[in-house]
């Protein structure tokens, strides 16, 4: 079996086996993920050695499904497999007391398989299918505790947001296939033509949905109602990355206009969600907003024309944010909640977890020599060198500043204060997952040069970029640690707490009209329903009337006939009195009648 297929099939097999066996779910899931990791590393090694493995599966007529590994996709597959395996290791501990573990691990494995398919997909159809499955898994995992109303609502909300944006992907894919005449992604990248601007913007829309870019960022914060491993795997490293991955893969074909749009959307998002993160009162929601912000930076990098910078940041962020989430999950288990009021002093109580969390936070903020420094450096350098540097560079720097600020604030809140701490079950598994991810987050920076070589693209660098980025990061950290957030944000604070909604936000602008339309449709539908029912009832009534009429007429006829015969019989019975003279009289009358008949016949003829 080729490593290409195994990368996808190992977690898929786990996803199928777990609900069938219903026991040993964690082991199966971790095993599947680990096998997938081994396969993906093997694949990456093969690709690095110059191979281009590809797998053509039967699919739509004329559009076979393809799995293809390029350096970029193989690298991403390794990232997904690594993060997935470590998060699953963590989840073994995190979900130890959970009754729905079978469902959880099956879904996580299915998600991993779908994500690997998405990453390795060589054609648009397979990519679409994988895209849908990860959306479904996301919905099911966010709503994992579907008994809680907020989890159910959050799941529905996430599904609706991403589904609406997915329309962009569908239309874009149709456009691309129609233009290139083939469903191969590689063919579309080479095709070019007039439709690329439209397709690029539509792809941007899809990426905005999946990567929670402004103004579609709201669902990601609410998605934190799901289990923390889900947040770590789906909502930081993989599912949300799908949007960025899509844009990174299609970056070569995007025209300058589309690139600028991508960059601006990313830039605005990084600032807006950064502000939201700064004002958040809940650790997981802060991390979610930060995720959206970091993906904004990646989009900015793509928009700046350097997808490699985006890729580096994506990889670094995947490790860092997963580590952060796993730390947050540990704190959550320790305190029973993720709101900062409950988490005060949680870091001091668990120094090892806090150490990992701090390292990851500093990495995210961009402190050398942690991995985030290098990737952010690349992004800022790309922004400075881009055609729209006047727009993009300030946004990138602002995003970096805000990153430092909110991470410092989170650390500050976790370190200061005191609270009731309680023992955490499965801490060893959780610690193992966290440690692995933190190690990667710390050390990954060293591998960036090798990645640049692998993709045959130089990693953007620059003295100014380094200085500016470092200054922004340090400034942000200092601000976040020293200045209370209220003072820092001023009048923006209250609005940022509510997700920086403008005039009611999406709820007012889209949600309510949509609901009104839906209600109108529902009323129309109900009217139609009643009308149809009424018609049916009317027809039934007519049929019943007709039937009763039939019965009364036909049966009545028969019954009348029967009754008549019976009456006749009864009357004939009275004729048979048994009295001789009566009988005689009757026979005389009969004879007379016969005579009359005879006479009549005689007169006639």
Partner 1 sequence: MLAQAFFVAVFGLAAIGFGVAVFRTSSMVRSALALLFSQTAIGAMFLAMQTEFLGVLQIMMMATEMSIMAIFMVMFMMDPGGLGGMDMTHQKRFSLGAGAGAAGVAIAVALLADWGPVTATAPDAGQQTRALGIELLGRSMLIFETAGVTILTAMIAATAVAIPVHKPAPGHNDQETPE
Partner 2 sequence: MTPVLILALLTGAVLFGVGVYGALSQTNLVMIMMGVELILAGALVNLVAFWRFLHPEVYAGQMFVLVVMTVMAVEMAVGFGVAIARFRVKGSVEMEEAGDLKG
Per CB under 8 A, the segment of 28-36, 375-383, 393-401, 586-594 that binds partner 1 is 586-594
Q: Which is nearer to partner 2, 538 or 584 (CB)?
A: 584
Q: How far is the CB of 588 from partner 1 (least distance, A)?
A: 5
Residue recorded with tokens 């009832």: 537
User: Can residue 557 be called a binding residue for partner 1 (CB under 8 A)?
Assistant: no
Binder of residue 573, out of partner 1, partner 2, none (CB less than 5 to 8 A by kind): partner 2
User: Can residue 604 be called a binding residue for partner 1 (CB under 8 A)?
Assistant: no
DSSP labels, 444-498 = GGGGHHHHHHHTT-PPP--HHHHHHHHHHHHHHHHHHHHS-HHHHHTTHHHHHHT
SS (H, E, C) 302-358: HHCCCHHHHHHHHHHHHHHHHHHHHHHHHHHHHHCCCEHHHHCCHHHHCHHHHHHHH
User: Can residue 581 be called a binding residue for partner 1 (CB under 8 A)?
Assistant: yes
Residue recorded with tokens 């944010």: 321
Residue recorded with tokens 């007379």: 592
Residue recorded with tokens 């609270």: 419
212 vs 52: CA distance, rounded Å: 33
Binder of residue 467, out of partner 2, partner 1, none (CB less than 5 to 8 A by kind): none
- Is the preceding peptide bond at 215 cis, omega within 30 degrees of 0? yes
Sign, CA dihedral 98-102-105-108, equals negative
Size of the site for partner 2 (CB under 8 A): 13
Binder of residue 525, out of partner 2, partner 1, none (CB less than 5 to 8 A by kind): none
Q: How far is the CB of 570 from partner 1 (least distance, A)?
A: 23
* Binding test (CB under 8 A) with partner 2, winner from 20, 49, 490, 581: 581
Reported residue count of the chain is 605
Q: How far is the CB of 571 from partner 1 (least distance, A)?
A: 19
Q: Tell me 459's DSSP state.
A: P
Give the count of beta carbons closer than 10 Å to the beta carbon of residue 575: 9
Per CB under 8 A, the segment of 46-54, 119-127, 311-319, 567-575 that binds partner 2 is 567-575
Q: How far is the CB of 595 from partner 1 (least distance, A)?
A: 6
Q: Is 176 helix (H, G, I), strand (E, B) or coil?
A: helix
Q: Which is nearer to partner 1, 482 or 589 (CB)?
A: 589
286 vs 328: CA distance, rounded Å: 10
- Is the preceding peptide bond at 369 cis, omega within 30 degrees of 0? yes
Q: How far is the CB of 560 from partner 2 (least distance, A)?
A: 24
Site string for partner 2, 583-602 (x = CB under 8 A): xxx--x--------------
Binder of residue 538, out of partner 1, partner 2, none (CB less than 5 to 8 A by kind): none
Q: Which is nearer to partner 2, 456 or 575 (CB)?
A: 575
Token pair for 321: 């944010």
User: Can residue 600 be called a binding residue for partner 1 (CB under 8 A)?
Assistant: no
Positions in 265-304 near partner 2 (CB under 8 A): none
DSSP labels, 89-153 = HHHHHHTTT-TTHHHHHHHHHHHHHHHHHHHHB-BHHHHHHHHHHHHHHHHHHHGGGTTSHHHHH
User: Can residue 573 be called a binding residue for partner 1 (CB under 8 A)?
Assistant: no
103 vs 137: CA distance, rounded Å: 11
User: Can residue 570 be called a binding residue for partner 2 (CB under 8 A)?
Assistant: no
CB 575, CB 589: distance < 8 Å: no
Q: Which residues contact 581 (CB under 8 A, 6 or more apart)?
A: none
Q: Quote the distance between the C-alpha of residue 269 and its chain's center.
A: 19
Q: Which is nearer to partner 1, 482 or 595 (CB)?
A: 595
* Binding test (CB under 8 A) with partner 2, winner from 580, 601, 602, 603: 580
User: Can residue 579 be called a binding residue for partner 2 (CB under 8 A)?
Assistant: yes
Name the helix (H) or strand (E) containing 212: none
Q: Which is nearer to partner 1, 539 or 588 (CB)?
A: 588
Q: Which is nearer to partner 1, 487 or 581 (CB)?
A: 581
User: Can residue 594 be called a binding residue for partner 1 (CB under 8 A)?
Assistant: no
Q: Which is nearer to partner 2, 20 or 579 (CB)?
A: 579
Q: Which residues contact 71 (CB under 8 A, 6 or more apart)?
A: 47, 48, 454, 455, 456
Beta-bridge mates of residue 60: 63
* Binding test (CB under 8 A) with partner 1, winner from 543, 592, 593, 597: 592
Token pair for 178: 């129609």
User: Can residue 487 be called a binding residue for partner 1 (CB under 8 A)?
Assistant: no
User: Can residue 597 be called a binding residue for partner 1 (CB under 8 A)?
Assistant: no
**CA distance from start to end of the chain:** 112
331 vs 419: CA distance, rounded Å: 11
Q: Which is nearer to partner 2, 1 or 579 (CB)?
A: 579
Binder of residue 524, out of partner 1, partner 2, none (CB less than 5 to 8 A by kind): none
User: Can residue 533 be called a binding residue for partner 2 (CB under 8 A)?
Assistant: no
Q: Which is nearer to partner 2, 482 or 588 (CB)?
A: 588
User: Can residue 573 be called a binding residue for partner 2 (CB under 8 A)?
Assistant: yes
User: Can residue 585 be called a binding residue for partner 1 (CB under 8 A)?
Assistant: yes
268 vs 286: CA distance, rounded Å: 18
User: Can residue 576 be called a binding residue for partner 2 (CB under 8 A)?
Assistant: yes
Binder of residue 577, out of partner 1, partner 2, none (CB less than 5 to 8 A by kind): partner 2
Q: How far is the CB of 570 from partner 2 (least distance, A)?
A: 11
Per CB under 8 A, the segment of 160-168, 286-294, 406-414, 574-582 that binds partner 2 is 574-582
Rounded to the nearest 10°, the torsion over CA 534, 538, 539, 541 is 140
The distance between the two most distant Cα atoms of the chain, rounded to a whole number of Å, is: 145
Nearest to 234 by CA among 143, 170, 307: 143
User: Can residue 578 be called a binding residue for partner 2 (CB under 8 A)?
Assistant: yes
User: Can residue 503 be called a binding residue for partner 2 (CB under 8 A)?
Assistant: no
C-alpha Rg value of the chain to the nearest Å: 37
Q: Which is nearer to partner 1, 21 or 596 (CB)?
A: 596
Binder of residue 595, out of partner 1, partner 2, none (CB less than 5 to 8 A by kind): partner 1
* Binding test (CB under 8 A) with partner 1, winner from 482, 595, 597, 600: 595
Q: Tell me 425's DSSP state.
A: T
CB 408, CB 481: distance < 8 Å: yes
Q: Which is nearer to partner 2, 540 or 589 (CB)?
A: 589
Per CB under 8 A, the segment of 60-68, 395-403, 427-435, 572-580 that binds partner 2 is 572-580
Report the interface residues with partner 1, using CB under 8 A: 581, 585, 588-589, 592, 595
Report the interface residues with partner 2, using CB under 8 A: 572-573, 575-581, 583-585, 588
């Amino acid at each position: 079996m080729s490593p290409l297929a195994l990368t996808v099939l190992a977690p898929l097999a786990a996803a199928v086996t777990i609900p069938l066996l219903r026991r040993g779910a964690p082991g199966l899931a971790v095993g599947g993920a680990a096998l997938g990791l081994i396969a993906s590393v093997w694949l990456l090694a093969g690709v690095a050695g110059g191979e281009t493995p590809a797998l053509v599966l039967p699919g739509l007529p004329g559009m076979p499904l393809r799995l293809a590994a390029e350096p970029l996709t193989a690298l991403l597959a390794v990232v997904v497999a690594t993060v997935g395996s470590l998060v699953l290791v963590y989840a073994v501990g995190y979900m130890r007391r959970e009754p729905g573990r079978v469902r959880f691990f099956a879904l996580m494995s299915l998600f991993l398989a779908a994500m690997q398919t998405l990453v390795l997909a060589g054609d648009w159809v397979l990519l679409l299918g994988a895209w849908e499955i990860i959306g479904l898994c996301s919905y099911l995992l966010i709503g994992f505790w579907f008994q809680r109303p907020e989890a159910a609502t959050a799941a529905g909300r996430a599904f609706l947001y991403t589904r609406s944006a997915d329309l962009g992907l569908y239309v874009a894919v149709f456009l691309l296939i129609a233009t290139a005449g083939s469903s191969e992604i590689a063919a579309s990248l080479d095709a070019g033509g007039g439709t690329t601007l439209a397709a690029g913007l539509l792809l941007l829309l899809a990426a905005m949905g999946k990567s929670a870019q402004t103004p579609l960022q709201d669902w990601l914060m609410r998605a934190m109602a799901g289990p923390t491993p889900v947040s770590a795997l789906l909502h930081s490293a993989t599912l949300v990355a799908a949007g960025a991955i899509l844009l990174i893969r299609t970056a070569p074909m995007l025209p300058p206009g589309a690139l600028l749009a991508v960059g601006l959307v990313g830039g605005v998002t990084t600032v807006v969600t950064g502000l939201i993160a700064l004002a958040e009162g809940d650790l997981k929601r802060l991390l979610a907003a930060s995720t959206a912000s970091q993906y904004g930076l990646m989009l900015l990098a793509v928009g700046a024309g350097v997808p490699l910078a985006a890729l580096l940041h994506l990889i670094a962020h995947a490790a860092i944010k997963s580590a952060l989430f796993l730390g947050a999950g540990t704190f959550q288990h320790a305190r029973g909640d993720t709101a900062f009021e409950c988490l005060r002093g949680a870091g001091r109580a668990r120094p090892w977890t806090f150490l990992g969390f701090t390292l990851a936070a500093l990495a995210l903020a961009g402190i050398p020599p942690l991995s985030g420094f290098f990737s952010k450096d690349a992004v800022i350098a790309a922004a400075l060198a881009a055609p729209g540097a006047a727009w993009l560079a300030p946004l990138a720097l602002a995003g970096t500043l805000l990153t430092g600020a909110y991470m410092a604030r989170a650390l500050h809140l976790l370190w200061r204060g005191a609270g009731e701490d309680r023992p955490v079950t499965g801490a060893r598994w959780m610690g193992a997952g966290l440690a692995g991810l933190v190690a990667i987050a710390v050390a990954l920076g060293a591998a960036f040069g090798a990645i640049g070589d692998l993709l045959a693209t130089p990693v953007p660098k620059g003295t100014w970029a380094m200085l500016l980025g470092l200054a922004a990061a340090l400034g942000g950290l200092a601000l976040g640690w020293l200045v209370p957030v209220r003072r820092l944000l001023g009048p923006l604070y209250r609005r940022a707490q509510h997700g920086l909604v403008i005039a009611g936000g999406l709820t007012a602008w889209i949600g309510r009209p949509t609901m009104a339309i839906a209600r109108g449709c529902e009323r129309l539908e109900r009217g139609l329903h009643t009308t149809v029912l009424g018609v049916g009832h009317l027809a039934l009534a007519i049929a019943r009337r007709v039937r009763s009429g039939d019965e009364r007429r036909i049966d009545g006829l028969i019954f009348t006939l029967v009754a008549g015969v019976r009456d006749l019989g009864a009357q004939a019975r009275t004729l048979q009195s048994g009295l001789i003279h009566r009988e005689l009289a009757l026979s005389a009358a009969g004879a007379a009648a016969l005579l009359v008949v005879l006479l009549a016949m005689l007169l006639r003829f």
